[in-house]
Amino acid sequence: MGKRNIINSLWRNSHAHKLFYRYKILKMKNVFCFCYTILISSIYIQAQNPLYIPDTLSGPIYNLTVQDSSKIFFPPNVTPTYGMNGDLLAPVLILNKGDSITLNVTNNLNTSTTMHWHGFHVSPENDGGPHQVIDPSTTWSPSFKVRNDAATYWFHPHLHKNTERQVTKGLAGLIIIRDSVESTYDLPRRYGIDDFPLIVQSKAFDAFYQLAPFTSYDSIIMINGTIDPFLQVPAQVIRLRLLAASADRTYLFGLEGNMPFYQITSDGGLLDQPVTLTRLRLSTGERAEILIDLTGMQGQNLYLKSFASELPAGIIGSSQVGTDDTLTGYYTNPLNGNDYNLLRFDVVAQTSSPVLSIPSAFAPLSPWNESEADVSRDLIFTLDTLTLLFSPVEGPFLINNQAFHMDSINVISYLNDIEIWRLINTTEVAHPFHIHDIQFYILDINGAPPPQGQHGQKDVVLVQPGDTIRFITKFETFADNTIPYMFHCHILHHEDEGMMGHFLVVDTTAVALKEVNSIQEIQLFPNPTRDYLYIDAKSISDENGLGIAVYNVLGQEIYSYIDRREDGKIKIDISNFDSGLYYLIIKTDTTHYQGKFLKLQA
């Protein structure tokens, strides 16, 4: 790694940079105090606009171009945007389980980005987290087999400290996966006719009609980039693919007049049966598919709404966040704690071959048994009180009292292990927790079973203030001793400020450990290890001693000494090292030997 990259990484992880980042956010919020009244009235004067239905792309090769663009939201004012293959958002990707695909992501921005396939079970090098940076004028081309079940997923940037800015400006897209199981049921699946994608976002505009991150003044609702939309729908059963894609807002979806609807999927697949609901809560990053039976309603109108007045305190979007403090400008945002319209349905005539009934059941779910768990872990959400500009509701927030660092591994899991993770929220704010690579099943929320609709496969779960949530999962298929996955709060500025961690999935079989322990003449043991690393170097010697050095993944030397013992037996105390991957260099006067070892959490 070059000196410039190391220096930049050190700056990004420094305390001074965190203070600078917090100052930028606070400065942005002060600007909105001045300009907010200019735009608030525009919420109510917009004419109804036809809902934009994104184009689709089908594989096996998908080409996405990330680009600067612009769009007119408030005529005649032009708003700069980001888009993929267009001026805002992205085409919907249609995938089939079992297919091998390639996604060519070309970055035509003048800044770096990444692209994360949210909810996908892929290898870490294909995951699109902060480590897979796409520099300007370059193309990233991950190839992988689609392994997820049929459901609705999405993709978005994941560049550390820039995720909120890039998503807010327009970079997000929906993914539909189909499979042979879902296709056996009589469900609406004609895209744009009876099967509709709904990317639900709240946006803030400044006095110059520019999209703005880092603010609680997100009073403009958009669906698929359309403000105040309507949609013509047939008088039959329709399918809505809901994605809550705001930077921080949670939605409580429902229909006008408390008309019932039917949830059929969670984040990662079909439920075991449709769940009849009048309310569906989705926090940022969560998805669900619902069916609405509009039979006999031709000529009528119906609103999809968010019933934010019913959200519990502590959830962003509710009437109150925090006890003695709240987010800047929170109470002046008309969306917070109030019910509001999202989308108007205009019911028109039936199509040919309509779906006219709701299925009674789907295939049974297959959660892992708690007794099968190999490991249990606790992740505790806390407030970072050591940062100068902290607030009980603004943050910054931590996981296990650790802020995110690109060079630290927080958790090491083993391939094919079943694990139980316990999420404990000690803060005054609800946090939607997301983990990459896997889907999980919620075991309990404060000791009680999860409500219907949350019992299926999940990759995001909202942890309310004071709550404890346990989930069970299995780390399978993919292992890498070097490249980590992520877990984090999906409130984007919480994530950008460091409420995020790394985890490695490690294969402990003999073949895999040979890759970690690549020194031929030297034995490293145990590897992985927690407290001590033993080195048997008796096969090499040097009259001037052996130079021992340990480096982290950034190339920074963190340990060195000269060993002059003649027996070649070396013991290194690594108990104070952070968990993660390290490189060991042993030097003689004539050559050097290099290997890797893993430090486990104590």
d(CA 525, CA 535): 7
Task: Please name which of 510, 588, 491 lies closest in space to residue 549, comparing C-alpha atoms.
Answer: 588
Per-residue pLDDT tens for 260-281? 999 999 999 999 999 999 999 9
Amino acid residing at 419 = E
Helix/strand/coil (H/E/C) assignment for every residue in 195-221: EEEEEEEEECECCCCCECCCCCCCCEE
> For all residues of the chain together, what is the average pLDDT?
89
Amino acid residing at 532 = Y
d(CA 343, CA 335): 15
**For residues 214 and 138, which has the higher predicted lDDT (pLDDT)?**
138
The domain ranges of the chain are: 366-506, 510-599
Which of 106-110, 241-245, 307-311, 326-330 shows the lowest per-residue confidence on average (mean pLDDT)? 326-330
Residue 142's pLDDT is what? 98
Task: Please name which of 577, 588, 474 lies closest in space to residue 533, comparing C-alpha atoms.
Answer: 577
Per-residue pLDDT tens for 25-84? 444 444 444 344 444 434 444 448 999 999 999 999 999 999 999 999 999 999 999 999
Cβ neighbours around 161 below 10 Å, total: 17
Cβ neighbours around 401 below 10 Å, total: 11
Are 552 and 558 in contact by the 8 Å Cβ rule? The answer is yes
Q: Record the tokens describing residue 293, joined without a space.
A: 């039976």
d(CA 360, CA 324): 48
CATH entry, 366-506, from 2.60.40.420, 1.10.510.10, 3.40.630.20, 3.30.420.130: 2.60.40.420
Are 473 and 419 in contact by the 8 Å Cβ rule? The answer is yes
Answer whether 366-506 and 510-599 agree in fold. Answer: yes
Confidence grade of residue 599 (pLDDT, cut at 50, 70, 90): confident
Rounded percentage of the chain residues whose pLDDT exceeds 90: 71
Q: Record the tokens describing residue 213, joined without a space.
A: 């991150």
Model confidence at 252: pLDDT above 60: yes
User: Residue 71 — φ and ψ, nearest 5°?
Assistant: -155, 150
d(CA 163, CA 159): 5
Amino acid residing at 39 = L
Residue 597's pLDDT is what? 86
Per-residue pLDDT tens for 368-378? 999 999 999 99
Rounded percentage of the chain residues whose pLDDT exceeds 70: 87
d(CA 198, CA 358): 20
122's CB contacts (< 8 A; 6+ apart) are 142, 144, 147, 437, 478
Domain 510-599 is in which class?
A: mainly beta
Model confidence at 581: pLDDT above 70: yes
Task: Please name which of 556, 526, 521, 523 lies closest in space to residue 542, comparing C-alpha atoms.
Answer: 521
Residue 128's pLDDT is what? 98
Q: How many Cα neighbours within 13 Å face the side chain of 345? A: 28
Residue 542's pLDDT is what? 63
pTM: 0.83
Residue 523's pLDDT is what? 77
Residue 570's pLDDT is what? 86
User: Residue 451 — φ and ψ, nearest 5°?
Assistant: -65, 155
Model confidence at 258: pLDDT above 50: yes
Cβ neighbours around 528 below 10 Å, total: 19
Confidence grade of residue 99 (pLDDT, cut at 50, 70, 90): very high
Exposure b/e, 64-96, CB count within 10 A at least 16 = b? bebbebeeebeeeeebebbbbbbbbbbbbbbbb
Are 206 and 32 in contact by the 8 Å Cβ rule? The answer is yes
Mean pLDDT of 470-480: 97
User: Residue 183 — φ and ψ, nearest 5°?
Assistant: -70, -15
Model confidence at 385: pLDDT above 70: yes
Residue 323's pLDDT is what? 78
Residue 34's pLDDT is what? 38
Are 582 and 576 in contact by the 8 Å Cβ rule? The answer is no
* Strand, helix or coil for residue 65: strand
Distance of CA 400 to the CA centre of its chain: 19
Q: Record the tokens describing residue 490, joined without a space.
A: 């999906």
Confidence grade of residue 541 (pLDDT, cut at 50, 70, 90): low
Exposure b/e, 475-514, CB count within 10 A at least 16 = b? beebbbbbbbbbbbbbbbbbbbbbbbbbbbbbbeeeeebe
d(CA 234, CA 299): 10
Task: Please name which of 554, 537, 529 lies closest in space to residue 11, comparing C-alpha atoms.
Answer: 554
Number of H helices, E strands in the chain: 6, 40
- 524 bridge partner residues: 535
Model confidence at 15: pLDDT above 70: no
Model confidence at 524: pLDDT above 50: yes
Which of 121-130, 192-201, 442-451, 477-486 shows the lowest per-residue confidence on average (mean pLDDT)? 477-486
Supply the DSSP symbol for 165: H
Task: Please name which of 342, 322, 286, 268 lies closest in space to residue 491, comparing C-alpha atoms.
Answer: 286
Per-residue pLDDT tens for 157-169? 999 999 999 999 9
d(CA 477, CA 145): 11
Residue 147's pLDDT is what? 99
d(CA 184, CA 228): 36
Confidence grade of residue 352 (pLDDT, cut at 50, 70, 90): very high
Model confidence at 124: pLDDT above 90: yes
Q: Record the tokens describing residue 25, joined without a space.
A: 């956010």
d(CA 85, CA 63): 9
